[in-house]
Structure 1
Amino acid sequence: MNKKVMLMILDGWGIATNPEVSAIKSANTPFMDQAWGMYPHSRLNASGLAVGLPVGQMGNSEVGHMNIGAGRVVYQDLVRVNKAIEDGTLEKNAILQSTFDHVKKSGKKLHFMGLVSDGGVHSHIDHLKSLCELAQQHSLSDQISVHAFTDGRDTDPQNGIKYMADLQQFFSNRGGNLASVIGRYYAMDRDQRWERVRKAYDALVHGKGSYT
């Protein structure tokens, strides 16, 4: 007789270390309370090294989906890029090298665009800084233009100004330019809402935008 097994994921459910600030602990959860009391159970660590992230880095739905049921630690892109920076692999990347050479010979701008925060889900600001430092080592400091997508989803919605100030400080010491700023709501829309994407497209391709 075959027995069925169900893998059911409760998004956002967790075990708080401080019950006084736990919404779950304060809620009425009779089914979960009964299941916890009647059946064998265990706990999963869903952040940091347990799911292939750096120590202290919070988990997220994407990381959880990659790891659950894998039977091993699935190292995330964040860790892999960190390692490539530390061991010099990124510096030796052939595509980066040829790009830097082309920009240097042509005298054109070197454009970096992407999510700028320390959320660690789709990007990390330290990776952007490392790319800029590599470009600066190729004497391209005056040709770097960064198009920043602010991150109000994986970090505090009010923290965009903090990351922009951090970048400006970074550029003031090494060279580089913050060319444009736009929220991920527009630049990273994944619901095929062209009216949003167009604002980002026009800013990046045609240089159109609101000057503040």
Structure 2
Amino acid sequence: MDFGFNADQEMLRATARKFLENECPSEFVRARMAEDAGFTPEFWTKLAEQGWLGLVYPEAYGGAGLGFVDLTVLMEEMGRAVMPGPFFSTLLGGLAILEAGSDAQKKEWLTKIAGGEARVTLAWTEPNARWDAAGVTTTAKASGGGFTLSGTKLFVPDAHVAQALVVVARTREGKNPEEGVSLFVVPTNARGVSVKLLPTMDQTRKLSEVKLSEV
């Protein structure tokens, strides 16, 4: 059994390495570390043109329809270049929508992500610093045919430059902590959403505090 990469994956690696050596030298990385945004719109557009923002999304949503091994090859090269910006955070948000979103949400957001028109991140952790379902205290209460969200999310990657958040919130309490934990796509410009950039040690990875006040 061959556990090596195939020819297409090695070609992807070579293409990514050449691109990142040209477009993401150390000077570019240091400049982005010194800025709040952590990336440039021009660089983000180039990632979209390479097809990398939609690499693992179905072609129906503008993606390339490739797999996670291909994604691993690409992200290895991104790590080699210490590429800054919201690629990984948008991947987290996009994959959550791909896995759990409605058809309408997939069509809207995955198409925008793949085209470089939107950045989406996953808002999971809270001030209690727990990673399990029991740590989700942000509430989602039924209201007017939808839900109203309230709570605080901490260490949300790149929320300050995202157009939407995939928020983990609790719709009900149950005997099992996982009961009632749901995902909601929340535009960052929605009324009641507040985002504050946090100081971090790794300035290639920007983190934020997100407060939801009856969103």
- Taking structure 2 as the reference length, the TM-score comes to 0.30
Structure 1 length as normaliser, TM-score?
0.31
Q: Which has the higher contact order (CA 8 A, sep 6+)?
A: 2
